[in-house]
Amino acid sequence: MSKYIFEISWEIANKVGGIYTVLATKAKYVKEFYGKNYFVIGPYLGAKSQSDFRILSVPREFENVINNLQKQGLIVYYGEWLVEGSPFGFLIDFQRFLHEINSIKYDLWQNFGIDSLRTGKDYDEPVAWSKAVSLFIKELINHEEFQNSIFHFHEWLAGTALLLVNDIKQRKIFTTHATVLGRTLASAGINFWDEISALDPLKLAYDFGVEAKHLVEKNSAKFADTLTTISSISALEVECFLKRKVDFVLPNGIDLSKFPTFEE
Per-run averaged pLDDT (10 residues), the chain, 264 residues? 90 94 93 94 94 96 97 97 96 98 98 98 98 98 96 98 97 97 94 91 98 98 98 96 97 62 60
Q: What is the pLDDT of residue 17?
A: 87
- Please write the tens of the pLDDT for every residue from 79-102: 999 999 999 999 999 999 999 999
Inter-residue contact 44 to 94 (CB < 8 Å):
yes
Q: What is the pLDDT of residue 252?
A: 81
Do the strands 76-81 and 248-249 form a parallel or antiparallel pair, or are they unpaired?
unpaired
Spell out the residues 6+ positions from residue 128 whose beta carbon is closer than 8 angstroms to its own. 94, 95, 97, 98, 100, 101, 104
Query: Helix 121-140 and helix 60-71: axis angle, to 10°?
Result: 120
Q: What is the pLDDT of residue 72?
A: 94
Inter-residue contact 77 to 90 (CB < 8 Å):
yes
Q: Minimal CA–CA distance to 262: which of 172, 202, 178?
A: 178
Rounded distance between C-alpha atoms, residue 176 and residue 106, angstroms: 24
Q: What is the pLDDT of residue 194?
A: 87
Q: Rg of the Cα trace of the chain? A: 18
In this structure, what DSSP letter does residue 35 have? G
Q: What stretches of the chain show up as alpha helix (H) in DSSP?
A: 18-34, 47-50, 60-71, 95-98, 101-112, 121-140, 155-164, 180-187, 201-207, 211-223, 232-242
